[in-house]
Amino acid sequence: MNMSPIDRETSLVATETMAQKRNPSAALMLVSLCRMMSARLPLVVGSMVRIDEGDSSASYVTDVAIPEVGILGASIAATLDRLVAGLDVHIEVMRKNVEITNGLIASEAAMMQLSDRIGRHHAHHLLYEAAQRSVMEQVPFTQAIGEHPGMKGREMVILDVAGYTGESTSLVDRLASDP
């Protein structure tokens, strides 16, 4: 695909045949740059070993690799900056996508809650059956769990998909505040 210099500066590029499609070109570039960086690390680590107190010819590898690592690091930072700057967050669309699963997206959270109460094997079996019912009968996953015979007399499983973000919020806040 031919891109103008302006297109190269954006994070999303349409394809030639499907104008409505938005390709995540910056994200793909970021992955490629990180792979290239990863490939340099074994070269540098391997050149650290000196065999029998030999001459400095092993450092010739790092003479090439270290500047490449610097260039790749700068390219990764610039590409990541471009990716984040072009990020569009559509909260309502995200909420709608989560609701499509009828709560099944939080099955891991349900597993963690139930495993502590009834053991991992029983929790897996109960949640599998509840998930199948949720899909086949189009009932909310929490309802299917609550109505499962294995839940009789047990505390209800609470699934708050909006709050099921783990440590991601604190990690992002910490990283964003670091200079």
Reported as a single tens digit per residue, the pLDDT across 152-177 is 888 887 777 776 676 788 888 888 88
DSSP state at residue 61: H
Q: Would the pTM count as exceeding 0.85? A: no
Q: Which DSSP helix (H) or strand (E) runs through 20?
A: none
Mean pLDDT calculated for residue range 61-72:
91
Task: Please name the residues in contact with 156: beta carbons below 8 A apart, sequence gap of 6 or more.
Answer: 142, 145, 146
Mean pLDDT calculated for residue range 50-58:
65
Q: Please say whether the beta carbons of 94 and 144 come within 8 A.
A: no
What was the pLDDT predicted at 170? 84
pLDDT at 58 over 90: no
**Paired strand residues for 13:** 23
Give pLDDT tens digits for 9-44.
455 555 566 666 666 888 899 999 999 999 998 988
